[in-house]
Structure 1
Amino acid sequence: MKIEHMRWQDSRWEPTVPGKLHVAQLVLLFGCPSLLKQQNLLQEIQQAYPSAHLLGCSTAGEISGTRVLDESLVVTAVQFEQTALHGVRIKLKKGISDFQAGELLAQELDKEGLVHVLVLSRGVNVNGSDLVAGLTRHLPPHITVTGGLSGDGTRFQETLIVWEGKPEAESIVVLGFYSKRLRVSYGSLGGWETFGPKRLITRSAGNVLYELDDKLALPMYKAYLGEHAQGLPATGLLFPLCLLTPDSADPVVRTILSVNEAQQSITFAGDMPEGMYARFMRANFDQLVDGAVGAAKTSYKPIRSSPDLAVLISCVGRKLVLKQRIDEEVKG
C-alpha cells in the first residue's frame, strides 16, 4: 500500500499538489461544506487521480497528521497492491427508512472476497443505529464495518457526502474492500463521565426521546444544562446521554441531533429504546484524551504492527469541549 496525503487551505495545496500517486485506486477527502461545493477543486482532484474512486464527506473539523484544522480540505490518495474496491451510493427519498437504506446498500455489495465495509452517511435527520442494523443484517458476521456521520460544524443544517466527485446532501455511501491480504482493525472509546441518577426511558420512537421517568425529556434536559440550554441544539453536543443496555457492560453514548420545542422532544444519533435506562453525561478533559488513546491501542492489538493508513473519526462535541487541547486527542 502506498499513501499520498495533502491538504487545501488558504487557497493553496500543502505540502504538495495532488497527483504524484496518480495510479491510486482510492481518494478519501474530508472538508468543510463550502469547499466540497467547489466543483473546480473536486475536478482538480479527479484529474490528478483518474483511476480512483473519490469518497468523502463534510466535517466539523479536519484531521491531518496530528493536527485538527478548520475550513480546509484533507485529501488522502491510496494505492493498493492486492485489493479491489466496489462502492454504492443511495439517494434517500421519502418513505425509505435508515434501516431500509442500510439493507439496500448491503444487498448491492458482492459478498465474495469482501473483508471490510466503510460507510459514510448524512449527519442530520439520521438514525445511525438503524442504518448499521440494516447493513449488518445482510453482511456476513465476520465482515467489519466502520465509518461515520458527516458534519457541518455546529450549524445542524446541511451535511454532504461525496462519491465519485459529486457532493450530495441526502445520501449514504458504502465502500467494500475485497482482498486476501488486507488487514483492517478498529477501536472506539468515549471518555465522557456520567452524572445524576439513572432515568427510565418511558416514551420514545426510534431515535426520538419524549419522556424520561414519565416526564417530558426536553424540560428535564434543559434543567440539567442550566445556562447552556440557551444554545441548544449546539450546546447539547457537550452533554450527550449514556444509554445503559442490558446486553453489554459498556454503556453507549448517544449524541444529540436536534430538539423539538413543540413536542418537547430530543432527537439523538441512535435509538433510544423504551424500557432502557439513560444517564446524563458531561465532559472530562483527561478522560476524553485517554479514550482516544485507548481506541488507538484497541485497534493496534489485532494487527500488532504500525498501520499503513489510519482513518481517525471524532465528533464535534469532543472538539467543543477540548478546544485548544483538541490536538492532544489526535497526538494520543
Structure 2
Amino acid sequence: MLIRQESVDSKTALKDLPGISPLASANLVLVFGSIKRFNEGKLQGFLKSRYPTAQVVGCTTSGEISPNGVFDDSIQITAIQWEKTVQRVAQTKMSGMQSSFEAAAGLAKQLKADTLRTVLVISDGLNVNGSELLKGFQSVLGDIPIVGGLAGDGGAFVKTLQLYNDTVSDNLVIAVGLYGNALITASGALGGWKPYGPPRTVTKSEKNVVFEMDGKPALPLYRMYIGEAFSKGLPGTGLKFPLAVIEEGKRDVEKIRTLLAIDTKNNSLTFAGNVEEGETVRLCQTNHDRLVDGAGAAANLVMDGLSANKTNQTGLALCVSCVGRKGVMAELVGDEIKLVQQILGPQTSLTGFYSYGELAPRPNTTDSVLHNQTMTIGYLSENLLA
C-alpha cells in the first residue's frame, strides 16, 4: 500500500502544486474540501490528469482533516495505490431523503461478493437519512463493516457536494468496496458527550423526526432545556446540544443524534438519524477536554482492533468527526487530530473531514451505525504476505 498526500490551503491554488503527480499510478484518490473549492470548476479535470488511473471520490466538508491538523477552505488529497487489495466503486443519485434505503441497497448489490471486507461510504449530508442509508447497505451486505460519513457545507446547512471522477453534484451516495484477505481493517468510534437533565421517552416520531417526548411537543421542550439565548440560534446552536439515545445495558453513550432542522408549525425536531418511538433520550453537553479524550479513546480502539497487525507498516486512517465537535472546540479543534495522530503513529496517514453524520461500527463490533457528535476512525492497511 502506497500513500501520497497533497494539501492546498486557503491561500493557494491547485496550480501551485508541483507539476509532477506524487503517485500517478494510484488506484483510489480521496478528496475533501470546502464548498468554494468544489465550485471552482477545474477540480475534476485537474485530479483526473494528475491521477489518470484512479477512481476519484470525495465531498465537501465543515472542516478538512490532515496529518497537520484541521483546515477550512482547503483541498486535502490522498492518493492510494493498493498492492494486493481489489476495489470496486459504485455511486447513485438519490431522488430525496425518502430514497435513502433503496439507494444504498442498490449500491450494495453492485458491491456484494464473498471476498468483500469493508465499504467506504461518502454521502450527501442534507438530503439523506443516514440511519436508513445504513439499513439499506446492511439489508444486502449483513455485518460487513461500513465507514465514512455525510458531507458538510461549513455549517451552513444549505447544500453539500460530492465528487465522483468527472462529476460534482449534490444528492450522490458513493461506495467503495474493498476486497481480499490482504486488507487489514480496524475502527474506533467514541464521542465524549455527557447527558444531563431527566430521561425522556420519545412518544411520537417518524424515522428521524421527533414530534413528542413524554407526550409533550418536542420543540418547546428542547428550547426549555437549552435556554432562550441558544434557542434564538436554532437549528445551528443545536449542534452544541445533541440527544443521547440511552440504550439498555450500555454503560457508555454509543448513539448520539445531531439536530438538523426545526419545524415551528409542527413543533418537531429533525435529526441526522432515526430516533424511534419508545426510545429513551437525554440532552447532552460537553467541553474541549472530554471531546479530545473521546477522540483519543477512538484511536485506542483502532490500536486494540489491530492486535497482531499492530506494526510499523503503512496505514491510512479515515477520520470523520462531527461539525458539532468543531463548534465546541473552536480554534482548538486540532487538538483531537493531534492526539489521534500521536496514538496511531507517524506510519499512519490521516485524512477525513468534519461531517453531518459519521458511519462506523460500534466499539469492538462489526455492527455499523450512524453516529453523530462522534470521532470515528476507519483504519486501512495491507498485509503483503497474505
TM-score by length of 1: 0.95
Mean alpha-carbon deviation: is it higher for 305-314 or for 322-331?
305-314
Mean alpha-carbon deviation: is it higher for 8-17 or for 120-129?
8-17
Equivalent pair of 2:205/2:276 in contact (CA under 8 Å): yes
Alignment partner, residue 202 of structure 1: 203
Alignment partner, residue 302 of structure 1: 305
Equivalent pair of 2:44/2:165 in contact (CA under 8 Å): no
Mean alpha-carbon deviation: is it higher for 68-77 or for 95-104?
95-104
Q: Measure, in 1, the Cα distance between the counterparts of 2:214 and 2:264.
A: 19
Q: Measure, in 1, the Cα distance between the counterparts of 2:251 and 2:226.
A: 27
Mean alpha-carbon deviation: is it higher for 191-200 or for 98-107?
98-107
Equivalent pair of 2:97/2:127 in contact (CA under 8 Å): no
Alignment partner, residue 106 of structure 1: 108
- Amino acid of the structure 1 residue aligned with 2:323: V
Alignment partner, residue 7 of structure 1: 7
RMSD of Structure 2 on Structure 1 (CA): 1.7
Alignment partner, residue 224 of structure 1: 225
Note the alpha carbon deviations across 1:47-92, whole angstroms, 9 max, x for none.
Answer: 0100000010110000111310001110000111011211111111
The alpha-carbon deviation at position 140 of structure 1 amounts to 4.2
- Amino acid of the structure 1 residue aligned with 2:207: G
Q: Measure, in 1, the Cα distance between the counterparts of 2:146 and 2:175.
A: 9
Mean alpha-carbon deviation: is it higher for 294-303 or for 188-197?
294-303
Q: Measure, in 1, the Cα distance between the counterparts of 2:100 and 2:250.
A: 24
Note the alpha carbon deviations across 1:219-252, whole angstroms, 9 max, x for none.
Answer: 1111112111111111111110001133755431
- Amino acid of the structure 2 residue aligned with 1:263: N
| Identical pairs, percent | 37
Note the alpha carbon deviations across 1:239-274, whole angstroms, 9 max, x for none.
Answer: 100011337554310011111111111111111101
Q: Measure, in 1, the Cα distance between the counterparts of 2:32 and 2:78.
A: 9
Equivalent pair of 2:98/2:128 in contact (CA under 8 Å): no
- Amino acid of the structure 1 residue aligned with 2:311: S
Aligned ranges 1:52-201 → 2 under 5 Å: 52-94=54-96, 97-141=99-143, 143-201=144-202
Equivalent pair of 1:6/1:16 in contact (CA under 8 Å): no
Q: Measure, in 2, the Cα distance between the counterparts of 1:165 and 1:146.
A: 23
Q: Measure, in 2, the Cα distance between the counterparts of 1:310 and 1:265.
A: 37
- Amino acid of the structure 1 residue aligned with 2:7: R
Q: Measure, in 2, the Cα distance between the counterparts of 1:190 and 1:302.
A: 18
Q: Measure, in 1, the Cα distance between the counterparts of 2:249 and 2:99.
A: 25
Structure 1 gap segments, 5+ residues each: none
Of 235, 238, 245, 1:236 maps to 238
The alpha-carbon deviation at position 284 of structure 1 amounts to 2.2
The alpha-carbon deviation at position 25 of structure 1 amounts to 0.4
Give the SS at the match of 2:332. helix
Give the SS at the match of 1:138. helix
Q: Measure, in 1, the Cα distance between the counterparts of 2:97 and 2:225.
A: 36
The alpha-carbon deviation at position 27 of structure 1 amounts to 0.4
Give the SS at the match of 1:86. strand
Equivalent pair of 1:193/1:284 in contact (CA under 8 Å): no
The alpha-carbon deviation at position 176 of structure 1 amounts to 0.3
- Amino acid of the structure 1 residue aligned with 2:101: F
Of 37, 43, 46, 1:44 maps to 46
Structure 2 gap segments, 5+ residues each: 340-386
Q: Measure, in 2, the Cα distance between the counterparts of 1:282 and 1:95.
A: 28
Alignment partner, residue 268 of structure 1: 271
The alpha-carbon deviation at position 181 of structure 1 amounts to 0.4
Q: Measure, in 1, the Cα distance between the counterparts of 2:260 and 2:97.
A: 21
Equivalent pair of 1:6/1:18 in contact (CA under 8 Å): no
- Amino acid of the structure 2 residue aligned with 1:4: R
Mean alpha-carbon deviation: is it higher for 10-19 or for 128-137?
10-19
Return closer, same or farther for 1:315/1:165 CA change in 2, 3 Å cut-off: farther
Aligned ranges 1:316-327 → 2 under 5 Å: 316-327=323-334
Q: Measure, in 2, the Cα distance between the counterparts of 1:216 and 1:90.
A: 37
Equivalent pair of 2:195/2:282 in contact (CA under 8 Å): yes
Report the number of matched residues. Answer: 331
Alignment partner, residue 342 of structure 2: none
- Amino acid of the structure 2 residue aligned with 1:166: T
- Amino acid of the structure 2 residue aligned with 1:47: S
Of 237, 256, 259, 1:256 maps to 259
Equivalent pair of 2:239/2:323 in contact (CA under 8 Å): yes
Equivalent pair of 1:2/1:80 in contact (CA under 8 Å): yes
